Amino acid sequence: MIILPETWKGRESDPEELTGITVSSVAQLAKKYKTYIMCPIYRTGAEIKRKNSAVLLDREGEIVFIADKAFPFWNEFDLQPPTEPGTEALVYQTDFGRIGVAICFDANFPEVWKGIADQGAELVLWVSAYSGGTALQAHAINHNYYIVTSTLLGDCTVYDITGKELLYERSDGVHVSRITLDLDRAVFHENFNMEKRDRLLADYADSIQQETQMPREEWFVLQAVKPDISAREIAVNYGLEGLRDYKNRSRTAIDKVRGASYH
C-alpha cells in the first residue's frame, strides 16, 4: 500500500470530483503497479461542496473507500467553499487486513479512534499536514492497532499494536519510507488467558511464539513464526480473548451492573 500525505496537491487546492485528473491519474498508477494507493484530496460532488477526504484505490485502480476528515482544522472553514466535517468513522476490508483512516486534526479527538477500533481495524492510516507525535501513540496503546503516518512535513511514523514506535523517518524534499507489518500479531491481557496461552504455546511450539511480554501492563503478544499459520485464528480456537475485545466486554458487563453507561 502507498500512502500519500494530506493536501499533497496544496493546502488551498480547489476541490475536485472523483472523476477528476488527480484521482484518475493515481488510479492508473494503482492498476499499473497492482497496489493500493491512499490519495487524499479536497473533493466535491453532487451533494458535496468541499470535504477533506482520503480516497482509497485498489489494485485494479477502482475507488473502494472514502474517509472524510471528521474534524477539519479552523482555517479549513475559511476556504471557499468551506470544508464540511465528516460524520462517521469507517473501516475497509482490504485483501490483506482491515484498515481505518483518520486525517490530521482528527488526532485530537478520541471518538474518531474508538469508532475505528469498534469496527475491527487492524491498521490505521493517518494522513496529515503535521507530525502528530505522541497523541497518535496514545491511540495505538488504547486500541491496539498499528498506526502509519504520511505527512506534508516529509516524515513517517509507525506505531505498533503495543504503542511502541517502530519507525520514524524524515527528509527534505520527496520523502519515502518503507515498512512491512505483520497484521496477524495479536496482543492479549494476562487476565483469564494464561492457562490457555500456555497450552497453545506447548502445542504449537514450532509455529507460534510469545514475541513480547509486558509485565507492567500484564500484556503479551503472540506471533506466528511460520507463514502458513495464523496466531490469531489459533488463539481464538484456544479461547484466548484479544485485549481490545476483553476491554469492550468488560465495559459492557460493568455498565450493566451500573445500570447505565459511564460518562
160 and 196 both lie in a single domain: no
Residue 12: pLDDT band (50, 70, 90) is confident
Q: What is the mean pLDDT of residues 247-252?
A: 96
181 in a structural domain? no
Choice among 12-16, 34-38, 129-133 with the minimum mean pLDDT: 12-16
> Tell me, what CATH number does 86's domain have?
3.60.110.10
The answer to the question of residue 248 being in a domain is yes
Inside any domain, residue 262: no
| Domain membership of residue 139 as a residue range | 2-170
> Does 199 lie in the same domain as 165?
no
157 and 39 inside one domain: yes
Q: What are phi and psi of 185, to 5 degrees?
A: -60, 145
Q: What is the mean pLDDT of the chain?
A: 96
Residue 63 forms beta bridges with which residues?
57
pLDDT tens per residue, range 216-243: 999 999 999 998 999 999 999 999 999 9
Are 165 and 194 in a shared domain? no
Q: Residue 17 in 3-state DSSP?
A: coil
Q: Please tell me the predicted confidence (pLDDT) of residue 236.
A: 98
CA 104 – CA 75 distance, rounded (Å) = 13
100 in a structural domain: yes
Which long-range contacts (C-beta less than 8 Å, at least 24 apart) are formed by 140-146? 142/110, 142/113, 142/114, 142/117, 143/113, 143/114, 143/116, 143/117, 143/244, 144/117, 144/187, 144/242, 144/243, 144/244, 145/100, 145/116, 145/117, 145/121, 146/122, 146/181, 146/183
Same domain membership, residue 199 and residue 141: no
Look at the chain and report how many structural domains it folds into: 2
Residues 26, 112, single domain; the answer is: yes
pLDDT level of residue 13 (50, 70, 90 thresholds): confident
pLDDT over 80 (residue 88) = yes
Total Cβ atoms within 10 A of residue 213? 11
Q: What is the pTM of this model?
A: 0.96
pLDDT band at residue 105 under the 50/70/90 scheme:
very high
Residue 179 domain flag: no
pLDDT for residue 11: 79
Asked, for residue 180, whether it belongs to a domain, the answer is no
Same domain as 136, residue 23? yes
Strand order in the sheet with 165-170: 91-93, 98-103, 123-128, 146-151, 155-159, 165-170
Domain boundary among 142, 170, 198: 170
Last residue of a domain, one of 113, 139, 170: 170
Of 170, 202, 226, the last residue of a domain is: 170
68 and 37, same domain (yes or no): yes
Residue 79 lies in a domain: yes
The predicted model gives 21-35 an average pLDDT of 97
Residue 46 lies in a domain: yes
Please give the pLDDT value at position 207. Answer: 97
Are 13 and 113 part of one and the same domain? yes
